[in-house]
Amino acid sequence: MRRAGVIDDDSVGAHDHVCFVYAERAEWRAAARSFALAGLDAGQRVLIVAGPGEEHWWTEDDALGPAMRTGRAELLPQRAAYPDDLVDPADQVAFYRQATERAVRDGFGGLRAFADVTGLTSTPPAVDRLLRYEQLVDAYMDGHPFQGLCGYDRTAVPPADLRLLACLHPSASPGYAPFHVYADSGRLRLAGDIDYDNVELLAEALRAVGLPSAGPPLELTGTGLGFVHHAARVALAKLAQERSGRIVLRGGPSVAKRLSDMLGLDDAGLEVIV
């Protein structure tokens, strides 16, 4: 099971896909360095995606500078790592997949990358592409030796977008993701708490991952859930109806099954298995 939940400055390096929200560049620099050093300690290659004018942060760093000279770390300017602003999110995942495979061929345990992706949120269509990318790259991380730290400047990204982006990471800065939707062992896992105020956020997050319009049931693993408001179960049933299919929620609070039966949600497209 992947590690999920709220991170702090001391634990950022222990997680594998993190949404780090900051207000000052110094915060981002400290978190990125901590994440990178944890990767070096674990025998991974570190890929540094440097923002404009910030290459010297890393080339002059007393740990990462020497690591770059020996091939344990590599640096790319942001425009080189994200040349087309995620016009095709799958292409960006392929970029990291190839870098991960190359790191493994070179004898490393995998690849650990960090990038400030605030600039990829400039328009609503750009945010939609970024949401899709975060879901796709998280699915790749599940089962592959690739880990990533995504930076978001809260002074530049609308709060609603930040919350949605944070929810699509297994781990996030405090105060942004009441729950998490992420890949785990080939399935989508829900973790955290879903109260009444977060029901629409849940629906938006699941739409962002690309619910199929037909085919077999969409299976969600809910063993990481704490509290689930009954309105969230109604929302899941409505999502199932939108796609003319079924959603299966496995695990989670035992009361979810009883309430779903009482509300007749199985007939509406939601099956809860505890």
pLDDT digits (tens, 9 = 90+) for 205-249: 988 887 666 667 778 888 888 888 888 878 887 877 777 667 788
- Whether residue 263 has pLDDT greater than 60: no
* Whether CATH 3.40.50.300 fits 5-177: yes
Backbone angles phi and psi of 39, in degrees to 5 = -65, -45
Look at residue 269 and give its three-state secondary structure.
Answer: coil
Measured CA to CA, the distance from residue 206 to residue 128 in angstroms comes to: 13
- Whether residue 267 has pLDDT greater than 50: no
Here the tokens at position 171 are: 């781990």
Domain ranges of the chain: 5-177, 184-273
Here the tokens at position 17 are: 């896909």
Say what the pLDDT of residue 273 is: 52
Say what the pLDDT of residue 258 is: 44
Q: Is 52 exposed, middle or buried (0-12, 13-18, 19+ CB in 10 A)?
A: exposed
What are the residues facing 74 on neighbouring strands? 47
- Binned at pLDDT 50, 70 and 90, residue 116 comes out as very high
Assign a CATH topology to domain 184-273. Answer: Transcription Regulator spoIIAA (3.30.750)
Q: Which one has a higher pLDDT value, 216 or 257?
A: 216
C-alpha torsion angle, residues 162, 205, 147, 171 (rounded to 10): 60
Measured CA to CA, the distance from residue 58 to residue 114 in angstroms comes to: 12
Say what the pLDDT of residue 212 is: 63
Share of the chain above pLDDT 90, in %: 63
Average pLDDT over residues 23-34: 96
Strand locations in 117-246 (E): 146-153, 171-172, 179-184, 187-194, 218-228
Question: Position 175: which residue type?
Answer: G
Here the tokens at position 89 are: 């999110």
Here the tokens at position 87 are: 């016009």
Please say whether the dihedral angle defined by the alpha carbons of residues 74, 78, 83 and 84, taken in this order, is positive or negative. Answer: positive
Cβ-proximal residues to 205 (8 Å cutoff; 6+ apart), any chain: 164, 167, 168, 179, 181
Average pLDDT, the chain: 88
Distance from the Cα of residue 96 to its chain's centroid: 15
Helices (H) and strands (E) in the chain, counts: 11, 12
Half-sphere exposure at residue 113, Cβ-oriented, CA atoms within 13 angstroms: 29
Residues in the chain: 274
Quote the pTM value: 0.90
- Helices marked H in 106-216: 124-141, 159-167, 199-208
Measured CA to CA, the distance from residue 212 to residue 169 in angstroms comes to: 20
Q: Which one has a higher pLDDT value, 2 or 260?
A: 2
Say what the pLDDT of residue 237 is: 78
Please provide the DSSP assignment of 63-115 as one string.
THHHHHHTTSEEEEEHHHHSTTTTSSHHHHHHHHHHHHHHHHHTT-S-EEEEE
- Whether residue 46 has pLDDT greater than 70: yes
Say what the pLDDT of residue 98 is: 98
